[in-house]
Structure 1
Amino acid sequence: MRKIICIIFSTLCIAQHQVVAQQKLDVYLDHLFKNQKFMGSVAIAHNDSIIYSKAVGYSDAAKKKDNEKNTKFRVGSVTKTYTAVLILKAIEERKLKLDDKLVTFYPTVANADKITIEELLKHRSGVFNFTEIEGEGTWEEHFHTEQEFVDYLAKQKSNFEPGSDYEYSNSNYALLGFILQKIYKQPFAAVLVEKICKPLNLLNTYYTFEVDTAKNEALSYNIQDTYLKNGNVNFSNHPASGGIVSTPTDVNRFLFALFNKQLITTQSLEAMLPVDKGAYGFGIEKLKFDNPMGYAHGGRVENYFSNYWYFPKENVGVVVLANAVNIDVDVISTALLKSAYGTMPELPNFNHISNMADTAFNEIKGTYFSKDQKESITISSDGKYLVFQNSRPGQDYVYFEYKGNQVFQYDSIALQFFPNKHEMMLKQGAEQIIYRKSVKK
């Protein structure tokens, strides 16, 4: 869930975003990488110009291949903004209407006779989120046809009556993508190129089933005592909900074109954008802070994390794409945004936890292994909270709060550390698991 971040600025300091500012941002991002908090690429845009960009870390850690300016990343759910634009273009071309029913295309999906295109766009359809189906992680590793996907989804019951509630569901945009394929009679990849990439000359934005390092695409990693490559998602299962590949520069160019009516009409853009803070429109949400007023979308697939913020009045875009991260991506976005307003980021102390002596934290941070050595957990800090990162593919990082006496808590999970034994106990309900720290000799 996106954190509420309060930002108040008065003057955009684009003119000041020169050598000194760039050097300080370089130091900040290098600091994140050196402390194993972030690998990826970022860019800040003003109008149609990129005023700052930088890549850190590796696109292929095993080969020590660096992330570069044109390294491409899976953007996850940021894809939904592109899909919404494509749907609106189809409506402008009179190939579709917002009140068209899903039953016209996929009658086997629960409540298809009630669900409209608009409800799919706004996540108000009640369609079950296919990424939450039991065993989906293994299913998603393999290629599936459109019909196989629909049959897989059709077995699920609706979560609520269409239009009666909001619930984010990747299934909504997966279905929208397949609808685009039907009405244009060509693959989603071709629709994307024809309607968005080619007109905007976005040479590093496209859709493919699988990651290809030969095309300078970054692999994704969990951060442990080393970088562990994630599992392999096959994006045939949901091209329009999370399958696009891009760079921060290309994402910024897309956003500028969108908000300057180069892709859809003023009327379509107004329909797309939510009015209330924190609300979800058509593939886009409104940021929760007021000054500057902006729009956003984030994404995650495997351990690719993506985030964009765009501020129409100022025509400023901030994009972060990561292939390994265990710090809140919003923190990085905030640092980039502040720099555009003349405030340079401070370097976080990643040897610190609130209410705990740094020396005490240094004794417990590191990588811990299960008894059979098949699972590891890396303990680090974001400067305030303990960060827990499991080695299993696709596992998210989790923040734990210090409760005293070497105990940290997150929801119903507790971590108890025994520095003298180099051990950590994970407690959840009646379950207790001991992990032993890897100690350098």
Structure 2
Amino acid sequence: MNIFTYTFSVLKPSSAFLVLSATIIGTQLSAQKKIDSYFDHLLANNKMMGSVAIAHRDSIIYTKAMGYADIDTKLMNNKDTKFRIGSITKTFTGALVLKAIEENKLQLEDKLSAYFPEVKNAQKITIRQLLNQRSGIFNFTEIEGENEWEKSFHTQKEFMDFFINKESNFEPGTEYEYSNTNYALLGFILEKVYQKTYAEILDEKISKPLHLKNTYYSFEVDSKKNEAISYNIQNHYIRNGVTNFSNHPASGGITSTPTDVNKFLFGLFHNKLINAESLKIMLPEKDGEYGMGITKFQLGKNEFYEHSGRVENYFSDYWYMAKENLGIVVLANAINIPTEDVSKALTIHAYNNDPVLPDFNKTAELSTKEFAEIKGTYFTNDKKESVTISSDGSSLVYQGSESGQDYISFNFKTKNTFEYETIKLVFEPKKNQFTIYQDEIIKVFTKNAS
């Protein structure tokens, strides 16, 4: 019962943020030990496996890898382990499209009909609208059965056939709506104008000029190449479903490392890939606005450019402070806390403040004793499904075992009742059970089933 689907949001919480000191730290040993302790704490509490990096100007000032890249072979994540970066791919694609415009291969006002006239409203949709997520084209990742469809290789024509009959959600240019299809189409357009594959274009225009040795596009994950496998977090780690990334072309298929993503961001913002005029066009003007593969948000007086992503259970996030030349990158192959919490801890560390170690044994409403009665891993009677209940330090977290199952933070209603949108969890601690109510579905899970 895969009850949740992932949707991208360009808005960041407006919660209080520490006032940052004026000076970014170097590599003080005492500060490094404190941030190391933060990540050791996450790993010890089964909250994250992955890799992170902080860059100041063009130098990496902190890296940390934790957990396994491949649990079966006991291969550990290290600073060179590569992760699928999900929708951060869109920032790379946005830069490639603007590079193509600089090279007179494309124009922002070119119509989609020049390349794919079969797409609905193609004669009205421009390259600019695809980049800004204002085309109205249906998001292919929301098509029923997409989780199964994406497991197999598909050609460009098969990809087009998969979404082509879906109606547009609105008239082009009239609204904003995030759609992975927009960037998939941009990748196909790049292939047409350059007469090369997306992988070749990425390598020629970005990876080689910036010397990104661990950044590329391929169809399948290969742990023998030090590529991390993604996992769901249960009472143990469960391997996530296998995706063929031919189905996430220029929208979510790139493989990289936190160090390489930071190098890319520095190169992008310092005109090593596109010129200053193109960068200005690419960047959003307002907070919460989607630019061309990049968003913008404000925390206190601090201005960040950002994109996050998820594909399988690879979660990714970058924050870039252009005025300070500070880059924060988080790539995870297993996680059940918000990546923004990790990004915030890294930013705080960069300004020589100590990150807080969350208490994962309680929630904001439940004490350690009360939460202990309901946390743990639960199973259906046939043992085909399992759910792990944990805490992110504030809210109750639900993590299912099924392929593609997102973790979700539920809202407290009463001591034993929690809700997320129309879904309700009701716990019975004395029976070691909870019941999930979703639409017409009612299902009981029991803890510690033998």
Partner of 2:72: 62
Partner of 1:438: 448
Q: Give 1:292 deviation, angstroms.
A: 1.8
Counting only pairs closer than 5 Å after superposition, residues 29-48 of structure 1 correspond to structure 2 as 29-48=39-58
Partner of 1:104: 114
Q: Verify the 8 A CA contact 1:293 1:311 in the aligned structure 2.
A: yes
Which of these residues, 215, 221, 227, is aligned with residue 211 of structure 1?
A: 221
Partner of 1:316: 326
Deviation by residue 1:240-284 (Cα, 9 ceiling, x = unmatched): 000000000000000001001111010000000001001000000
1:184 is the counterpart of 2:190 = no
How far apart, in 2, do the equivalents of 1:199 and 1:19 lie?
33
Counting only pairs closer than 5 Å after superposition, residues 287-436 of structure 1 correspond to structure 2 as 287-436=297-446
Partner of 1:75: 85
Q: Verify the 8 A CA contact 2:20 2:348 in the aligned structure 1.
A: no
- Relative to structure 1, the CA distance from residue 147 to residue 418 in structure 2 (aligned partners, 3 Å threshold; closer, same or farther) is same
Gaps of 5+ in 1: none
How far apart, in 2, do the equivalents of 1:46 and 1:289 lie?
19
How far apart, in 2, do the equivalents of 1:290 and 1:208 lie?
39
SS at match of 2:299: coil
Deviation by residue 1:163-193 (Cα, 9 ceiling, x = unmatched): 0000000000000000000100010000000
How far apart, in 2, do the equivalents of 1:10 and 1:142 lie?
47
How far apart, in 2, do the equivalents of 1:290 and 1:359 lie?
36
Q: Verify the 8 A CA contact 1:12 1:340 in the aligned structure 2.
A: no
Give the letter aligned to residue 239 of structure 2.
Answer: K
How far apart, in 2, do the equivalents of 1:32 and 1:365 lie?
17
Q: Verify the 8 A CA contact 2:120 2:168 in the aligned structure 1.
A: yes
Give the letter aligned to residue 51 of structure 2.
Answer: S
SS at match of 2:200: helix
Give the letter aligned to residue 209 of structure 2.
Answer: P
Q: Give 1:301 deviation, angstroms.
A: 0.1
Stretch of structure 1 that moved more, 70-79 or 135-144:
135-144
State how many pairs are aligned. 440
Give the letter aligned to residue 100 of structure 2.
Answer: A
1:267 is the counterpart of 2:272 = no
Stretch of structure 1 that moved more, 403-412 or 191-200:
403-412
How far apart, in 1, do the equivalents of 2:421 and 2:58 lie?
44
Give the letter aligned to residue 116 of structure 2.
Answer: Y
How far apart, in 2, do the equivalents of 1:154 and 1:122 lie?
20
Which of these residues, 262, 268, 271, is aligned with residue 258 of structure 1?
A: 268
Stretch of structure 1 that moved more, 346-355 or 217-226:
346-355
Partner of 2:253: 243
Partner of 1:131: 141
Cα RMSD between the aligned structures? 1.3
1:142 is the counterpart of 2:164 = no
Give the letter aligned to residue 200 of structure 1.
Answer: L
Give the letter aligned to residue 199 of structure 2.
Answer: A
How far apart, in 2, do the equivalents of 1:411 and 1:152 lie?
29
How far apart, in 2, do the equivalents of 1:231 and 1:307 lie?
21
How far apart, in 2, do the equivalents of 1:262 and 1:430 lie?
55
Q: Give 1:76 deviation, angstroms.
A: 0.2
Partner of 2:13: 4
Q: Verify the 8 A CA contact 2:77 2:228 in the aligned structure 1.
A: yes
Q: Give 1:153 deviation, angstroms.
A: 2.1
- Relative to structure 1, the CA distance from residue 439 to residue 12 in structure 2 (aligned partners, 3 Å threshold; closer, same or farther) is farther
SS at match of 1:282: coil
Q: Give 1:433 deviation, angstroms.
A: 1.3
Partner of 2:6: none
Gaps of 5+ in 2: 1-8
Q: Verify the 8 A CA contact 2:378 2:449 in the aligned structure 1.
A: no
Q: Verify the 8 A CA contact 1:41 1:53 in the aligned structure 2.
A: yes
How far apart, in 2, do the equivalents of 1:135 and 1:400 lie?
25
How far apart, in 2, do the equivalents of 1:119 and 1:359 lie?
52
Give the letter aligned to residue 102 of structure 1.
Answer: L
How far apart, in 1, do the equivalents of 2:284 and 2:246 lie?
30
Q: Verify the 8 A CA contact 1:8 1:291 in the aligned structure 2.
A: no
SS at match of 2:148: helix
Deviation by residue 1:185-210 (Cα, 9 ceiling, x = unmatched): 01000000000000000000000001
Q: Give 1:8 deviation, angstroms.
A: 5.0
Give the letter aligned to residue 284 of structure 1.
Answer: I
Deviation by residue 1:7-45 (Cα, 9 ceiling, x = unmatched): 353534334541011111111001001101001000000
SS at match of 1:293: strand
SS at match of 1:403: strand
Q: Give 1:428 deviation, angstroms.
A: 2.5
Q: Give 1:413 deviation, angstroms.
A: 1.6
SS at match of 2:36: helix
Q: Give 1:211 deviation, angstroms.
A: 0.4
Q: Verify the 8 A CA contact 2:147 2:404 in the aligned structure 1.
A: no
Percent of paired sites with the same residue: 56
Partner of 1:233: 243
Given the two structures, how large is their TM-score scaled by the length of structure 2?
A: 0.96
Stretch of structure 1 that moved more, 5-14 or 144-153:
5-14
Give the letter aligned to residue 105 of structure 1.
Answer: Y
Q: Give 1:384 deviation, angstroms.
A: 1.2
Which of these residues, 173, 179, 186, is aligned with residue 163 of structure 1?
A: 173
Q: Verify the 8 A CA contact 2:282 2:294 in the aligned structure 1.
A: yes
Q: Give 1:427 deviation, angstroms.
A: 1.9
Q: Give 1:290 deviation, angstroms.
A: 4.8
